[in-house]
Chain A
Amino acid sequence: MVVIQCRDVWEKYRIRFVTEDKTVWENFWALRALDLEVSEGEVLGIIGENGSGKSTLLKVLAGMLKPDRGEVRVAGRVTGLLELGAGFQLELTGQENIMLNAGLFGLDPRETQRRYQGIVDFAGLGRFIHAPVKCYSQGMFARLAFSVAIHIDPDVLLIDDILAVGDEAFQAKCARKILEIKERGKTILLVTHDMQMLRRLCRRAILLKEGRLIMDGPCPKVVPLYSRLRGPQESVGTLERGPLRVVFNKGRIFIFWKEEMLTSGAGGHVVFLLGDAWVSSSQAEWDVRLEADDRLIATGTSYQKTWVQRWSAQIMPDGTLLWDISLEADESLGLGEAYVNVLLNKAYRSWVTPERSGPFPDVDAEKKDGQVLSGEAAGMKCLAVEEEPAASLPAVVFEQADDGPLSHPYIINAAYPEPGRILQYRIFPVRGSQEGVARTHVSFAGRLRVGMGRAARRTQDVFESYNLSGQEGALVCRGGRMMLYGKEALLTTGQHVYTSMRVDGTWYSSGAARWEVSKEGSDRLVARGRWEGLALTQVWEFVKNGADSFFWRVSLDIEKAVHLDELNMLCLCRPEYTHWFCDDVRGDFPAAFVSHECDILQKCLPAGTIGVYDPVGALPAVAVSFAPQKGTFAKILNSDFFHKGRILRVIKVPPENERLLPPGRQPCFDLAWHFQEGRRPGPYTVAAGLETGRLRLECAEGRGRLFQDGVPLSKGLALYASLRVDGRWHDSVSSAFWKYERSPQGVLRCAGTWLHVPVRQFWEISAIDRRALAFAVTTEATAALRPERFQTNVMLSESYRQWFSHEAEGVFPEFKDVLDDEWEELWAARNGYDPARAFVGVKAASCLGRLCPSVVFTCAADGKEGALAVVNSDVYHRGRVLRFSHEPPSVWKNGFRLVCRGKIVLQD
C-alpha cells in the first residue's frame, strides 16, 4: 500500500535579498517537481546537501507546509521528529514535559499515561525524570526528546537528522528502536548525514539536489553518489555513456557501472611530490567544463597558484574512458615523481597484468602503507582487476596510451585510509620552459576500459599484440620502446631498448614519437613511429629467428630528403648483469654507479657482438649482434646513478657524404638479439700472443694488449694504428678485419684489411729481450688515396699518473669531458729530434697494490721523424695514450708502402 504519495510537488519560499542599494524579494523553490511514492513499511533515506530541500520535504509531508503546486497525500497519522526537544519547557520537569510533548505530538492524556513508563524507560534518565529539564545534559535532553517522539507510534515517522546527538550507545539504541518500529510495519522517512546509519536502517534512499529528486534507488547505490557529489558546484562534472558513469569531483574521478560504484575512497586521483611534500590533486581549486556530452575538461590550480593540473576526460563510443592528465609546476618547486592512482572497490579479488596475475590478499587494516603486489610490469602500460560477477562488478582495465611517457605501473593493496585496490602508474616529470619561466611537467594519458568479461583476456590481447616470444625470451614493443623478457623476468630496465637519432641537427628519441604496432603473423612484429614535424617514419621490424633469437631491423621511410647525422640504439639492461662481453673480450662492470655515464668499457668492431651476462646464471645472457655497415660501432657502458643499468649501445655515424638521405626506405640497423639461457660466453680466443719474460702481448682484432704477469698495462684500444683520410679517422680496431698468420717462434704477424679506406696493413711484432718488444707496421695502399695523417698509438691504463720523455716529464690531468676524436695533447716532440734517442713514457701506476713498470714508447716512420706525443684520451676512453704521429706523402699510389718501426720497453 502506498502511504505517501507526492505528485509534482513544488514548494516556494520568498526570500528578501538585501544588497547595498536595494532590497529584492525573490522566489526560492525549495522543492521542484518532486514525485515520490513510499509504500507501507518502507524505511526511506533522504540525503542531500544542506539546502537541498530535505527538511522542506519532511515539513510538507508532515502537513506543516502546504505545497504551492502539486499534491501530497499521506495516509495515517504522521509524526515528525524535525527538531529534537522542541516544545520542552526548561523550567518543567521531565515528567511534565513528557505529558506536554506527547500532547503536542497529538497524543491525548490517557494514551500518554499508558505509554509514560515506556518513554521513561527508554530515555533511561533515572531520578532525573523528576528534575527540571534545564538541569539535563545535552545527551539526556536528546534522549528524553527522542524517547517521547519514538513512542508516539505513528503510521508514518519522519526523522530529520536528529540522531547525531547523543553518544554511540544511544544512537545504536535509537537505530534499534527505529528498526523495531519498522518491523511493526510502520513507514519511516529518515533524513541524515550519517551514511553509516543510513546504510544500517534503509534499503532505499533518495537523493535531493536543489529541490529536485535526482536519484531514487537502493541505498548502496545512492549513498556513494551523494558522497561524491558533495562539494562546490563548479568542481563537479558527470559523464555518462551506456552503463558507465564517470563523476568528476574536485580532483577525483569516480566510476560507476550500472549505478554500482567501482572506485572507493579518493577514486581516480593524482598524487605527486612537490619539494618534499606529497600533494594530492584534490588539494586544489577545480574548474570543470563540459565540452560536450561525453567530454569534460577540468583545471585545477593550487591554492597558492604554483601548479596547474589539466584533466580531460572523455568517454569514447566503445565505452573507453580517456583520461589525460597534465601537471605543470614552477621548476623552483621541485616537482618530483607523480602517481596516477585508481583506487578500486575492495570487493575486487584478483589482479591481472599482461604477463602475470594474482589474488589480492585480505586487506591488513593494521598496515598503513600499501602492499605492492606487482611492480614488475614496468613499461607494460596495462593493469587490470578481474571482474567479480557475484558482486556484479565489471573488470577494469587501466592502460596508459602508447604515446605516453615511460611509466612504472604498480598494483597495490591499500589499507589506509580506506581499504581498496590500487592500479597505479608512476611517472617522472620532464623539464621545459614556458614564456621564459622554467616549468616542470608530468603528462599521462590513461585509458580505462570497464566491462563485464575477463580482464585477463583483454590484457593478454594487449600483451600478444606487442609481443614476440621465443623459447628463451620474449620482446615486447610498445610506445617506441622494446622490453626484453627472459623466461622469468624482465631483462631490461628504465628506458629499456630505444633508438635516438639526430636529424637535421636535432635529436629525436623513439620514446617521444607516436607509435603504431602491428603484429603480422606469429613471428613478425612491425612498429612504425612518427615524430611531430618530421617527414619520416621510423620502422622497426622484428622477426623471430629460431628459439632464442630475434632480428631487429631499424629503417627509415623518408618522405623528404633529410640529413641523418647519427643514429643510436641503446639498451639499458638490469643492473644484476655484472659482466659484459664482446667478440673476444670479457670484463666486469664497475661495482658502483656514479653520477655520470661511466667510461666506455669496450669499443667494438663494425661487425660484432656485444652483450651482458650474469655469472650466477640467474638471468639469461643478452647479446646483440650487428651487421657490418659503414660507420657502425658499439659501446658498452655503465649508466649513471639514476638509471642504474648496463648500457649496450650501437652507434651509426654515416660518412659525411652519405648523410643526406633521399626519399624512400633507408635501412639503418640490422641487429640480432640472442638470449642464452644459463650460458655464459665462452672464453675469448686470443688470435695470437707473444710472450717474453713476464711481458705478454696479445694481439686480436687490430689491437695489441700488453700484460705483465697477467696484469693488463694497456686498456681499451691498446696498441693500434690509425689513419685520417678526408677528415675522418679510421683505426685498426674498428675499421679493419684481421687475419693472423702462422709465424716463427718469437715473432707475431697479422694482416688487416681496412674497411673504409683502400689500405692493407701488416703488423710484425717480435721480442727484443725479456722486457722489450719491437713492432713494425707496414701500411700498403691498394688503390690511390690521399691520407692526411698516420698514427701508431698505445693506450695505457688510466692508473698511470705521470708521463716522461727524453726532455720533459709531467703529471696527467683529469680527463676532459669532450666527445672529440682530437684528444688532449700534453707534450710533443716535433720534427728535429733524434729518433734513435727520443722516447715518451708513462710511470707511477699501481696495479693490484704493486708498482707497475713504466712503459716507454718510441717510433719512427721509414726512419724519418714525426711527432712523439703524450696524450690524454677523452673521458669516455679514460686512457693514457703514447702516440707517434706522422704526416705521410700526400698522395699514395697503388702499391705505396709506409713502414713504421717502434719499440715498447718496460722499465722499473
Chain B
Amino acid sequence: MIKDKIADFYRYRHVFLDMAVKQLKVRYAGSVLGISLAVFNPILLTMGVVFAFTAIFNVRMRDFPLFVLAGMFPWMFFVSALSEATRIFLSQQNILRQFRLPRETLPASCVLSHFLNYLIGWLFFLPLFLYFNPRVLPLFFLFVFVSLLFLVFTAGLGLLFSVVHVFCRDVGHLLDIVFMFWMWVTPVFYSADMIPEGLRWICVMNPMAGFITFYRDVLFFGRVPDLFVFVQVVLWSLGSLCCGAGIFWRFEPQLLKRI
C-alpha cells in the first residue's frame, strides 16, 4: 500500500516540483526586491539579535553575527516552512476539491518551495562563511547531508501538522506560540555548550538543537559534529518522516470531508 502511495506520488513528481517552483515564484511575484529578500530577511534579524546581545547584554564572542546567522537561518526556514505547510490544505483547498493528485504533494511541495528559498539564501551566505573560516570548504558535503535531513525532518512535521490542522484548527495558532518558546530553548543565539549541565536534556529532547548545532559546527566552527549529534539528526529526520507520513495516510481519506 505504501508502495502504491509512493508510486502515485512519483507519478506526480512533476507537479510536486512545478508547484514548489511556482510557489516560490508567487511568493516574490510583484515585489521589487524579489528573491534577494531571501537574504535580507535573515540578515536583518541577525543584525537585530547581534545588536541586542553585543550592545546590551555585552556578549563578547568572535564573529558573533556569523554565529547567530548559522543558527538563525535554518531556524527561520523551519518556522516559515512548517507554519505554511500546516495551513496548506486550507489555503489550497480548491486544489483539494478539484484534483485527484496525491494529497501529500501539497505540504511536501510547500516545504520544498521554502527549502529552495533556503538554498538560495545559502548561495549568498556560504561564501561569507567560507571567507571567515576556509576550513568549511572540505566539510561542504556535511552541509548538504544535514540540509537534506533537515528537509526530510521539516517535510515530515509538515505532513503531520497539515493533516492534524484540518481536523483541529487550534494547531495553527498553537504552533505560532510554540515557535516563540521553542526558539528560546533552542541554541539559536547561544551554543549548546552554554546550557548548564542540568538542563542539557532539553537539547536531547529538542530536535532543532541537533540540527542547529550540526549547522553551526560545520559552518561556523568548521568541525565535524559529535557522533551524538549525527545520530540525533538522523533519528529525528526518519522519525519525523515516518510519523508524519503514517498519520497523514491514516487520516488523508477524511480530509476532503473536513475542509
Partner of A91, one of B29, B95, B99: B29
Check A729 for interface membership: any CB of B closer than 8 A.
Answer: no
A66–B95 alpha-carbon span in the complex (Å): 18
Q: What residues of chain A lie closer than 8 Å to B253, measured between beta carbons?
A: 65-66
**Is there contact, CB below 8 Å, between B101 and A106?**
yes
Q: What residues of chain B lie closer than 8 Å to A78, measured between beta carbons?
A: 100
A162 to chain B, nearest CB (A): 10
**Is there contact, CB below 8 Å, between A89 and B26?**
yes
From A97-105, A230-238, A270-278, A569-577, give the one contacting chain B. Answer: A97-105
A156 to chain B, nearest CB (A): 11
Given A89-B22, A100-B19, A100-B22: A106 touches B100 (CB 8 Å cut-off)? yes
Check B3 for interface membership: any CB of A closer than 8 A.
Answer: no
Check B98 for interface membership: any CB of A closer than 8 A.
Answer: yes
A78–B22 alpha-carbon span in the complex (Å): 25
**Is there contact, CB below 8 Å, between A63 and B26?**
no
What is the interface residue range for chain B against chain A? Answer: 20 to 34
Interface residue ranges of A101-120 to B (CB < 8 Å): 103-106, 108-109
Q: What residues of chain A lie closer than 8 Å to B101, measured between beta carbons?
A: 104, 106
**Is there contact, CB below 8 Å, between B25 and A104?**
no
**Is there contact, CB below 8 Å, between A13 and B257?**
yes
From A46-54, A80-88, A446-454, give the one contacting chain B. Answer: A80-88
B166 to chain A, nearest CB (A): 13
Q: Taking CB as reference atom, which chain A residue is nearest B94?
A: A86
Chain A positions 59 through 93: 1 when the CB is less than 8 Å from some CB of chain B, otherwise 0: 10011111000000000001011110111010110
Q: What residues of chain B lie closer than 8 Å to A83, measured between beta carbons?
A: 94, 97-98
Given A65-B256, A86-B98: A106 touches B11 (CB 8 Å cut-off)? yes
Chain A positions 588 through 619: 1 when the CB is less than 8 Å from some CB of chain B, otherwise 0: 00000000000000000000000000000000
Chain A positions 11 through 29: 1 when the CB is less than 8 Å from some CB of chain B, otherwise 0: 0011000000000000000
Q: Taking CB as reference atom, which chain A residue is nearest B12?
A: A106
**Is there contact, CB below 8 Å, between A87 and B98?**
yes
Check A96 for interface membership: any CB of B closer than 8 A.
Answer: yes
Q: What residues of chain B lie closer than 8 Å to A81, measured between beta carbons?
A: 98
- Give the one of A100, A108, A132 with max B CB within 10 A: A100
Given A59-B256, A103-B18, A108-B14: A80 touches B98 (CB 8 Å cut-off)? yes
Q: Taking CB as reference atom, which chain A residue is nearest B98?
A: A86
Check B15 for interface membership: any CB of A closer than 8 A.
Answer: yes
Q: What residues of chain A lie closer than 8 Å to B14, measured between beta carbons?
A: 103, 108-109
Partner of A104, one of B11, B15, B29, B30: B15
Q: What residues of chain B lie closer than 8 Å to A108, measured between beta carbons?
A: 14
Q: What residues of chain B lie closer than 8 Å to A13, measured between beta carbons?
A: 257
Q: What residues of chain A lie closer than 8 Å to B256, measured between beta carbons?
A: 59, 64-65
Q: What residues of chain B lie closer than 8 Å to A63, measured between beta carbons?
A: 100
Given A64-B100, A86-B99: A92 touches B25 (CB 8 Å cut-off)? yes
A14–B92 alpha-carbon span in the complex (Å): 22
A59–B99 alpha-carbon span in the complex (Å): 9
A87–B19 alpha-carbon span in the complex (Å): 10
Q: Taking CB as reference atom, which chain A residue is nearest B99?
A: A104
Q: What residues of chain B lie closer than 8 Å to A87, measured between beta carbons?
A: 92, 94-95, 98-99
A318–B100 alpha-carbon span in the complex (Å): 54
Interface residue ranges of B1-37 to A (CB < 8 Å): 11-12, 14-15, 18-19, 22-23, 25-26, 29-30
Q: Taking CB as reference atom, which chain B residue is nearest A110?
A: B14
Q: Taking CB as reference atom, which chain A residue is nearest B27?
A: A91
A13–B256 alpha-carbon span in the complex (Å): 10
Chain B positions 247 through 259: 1 when the CB is less than 8 Å from some CB of chain A, otherwise 0: 0000001001100
Chain A positions 147 through 185: 1 when the CB is less than 8 Å from some CB of chain B, otherwise 0: 000000000000000000000000000000000000000
A105–B30 alpha-carbon span in the complex (Å): 27
Q: What residues of chain B lie closer than 8 Å to A14, measured between beta carbons?
A: 257
Q: Taking CB as reference atom, which chain A residue is nearest B253?
A: A66
**Is there contact, CB below 8 Å, between A100 and B98?**
no
B22 to chain A, nearest CB (A): 6
Q: What residues of chain A lie closer than 8 Å to B99, measured between beta carbons?
A: 80, 86-87, 104-106
**Is there contact, CB below 8 Å, between B98 and A96?**
no
Q: Taking CB as reference atom, which chain B residue is nearest A11?
A: B257
B254 to chain A, nearest CB (A): 9
Q: What residues of chain B lie closer than 8 Å to A64, measured between beta carbons?
A: 97, 100, 256
A706 to chain B, nearest CB (A): 102
Q: Taking CB as reference atom, which chain A residue is nearest B93?
A: A86
A560 to chain B, nearest CB (A): 76
A96–B22 alpha-carbon span in the complex (Å): 8
Q: What residues of chain B lie closer than 8 Å to A104, measured between beta carbons?
A: 15, 95, 98-99, 101
**Is there contact, CB below 8 Å, between A92 and B22?**
yes
Chain B positions 52 through 95: 1 when the CB is less than 8 Å from some CB of chain A, otherwise 0: 00000000000000000000000000000000000000001011
- Smallest CB-CB A-B distances: 10 pairs: A86-B98, A86-B94, A91-B29, A103-B15, A83-B98, A87-B95, A104-B99, A91-B26, A66-B253, A82-B98
26 contacts between A and B (CB under 8 A): A14-B257, A59-B97, A62-B100, A65-B257, A81-B98, A82-B98, A83-B94, A85-B94, A86-B94, A86-B95, A87-B92, A87-B94, A89-B22, A89-B26, A92-B22, A96-B22, A99-B18, A100-B22, A103-B12, A103-B14, A103-B19, A104-B98, A105-B99, A106-B11, A108-B14, A109-B14
Interface residues of B (CB under 8 A from A): 11-12, 14-15, 18-19, 22-23, 25-26, 29-30, 92, 94-95, 97-101, 253, 256-257
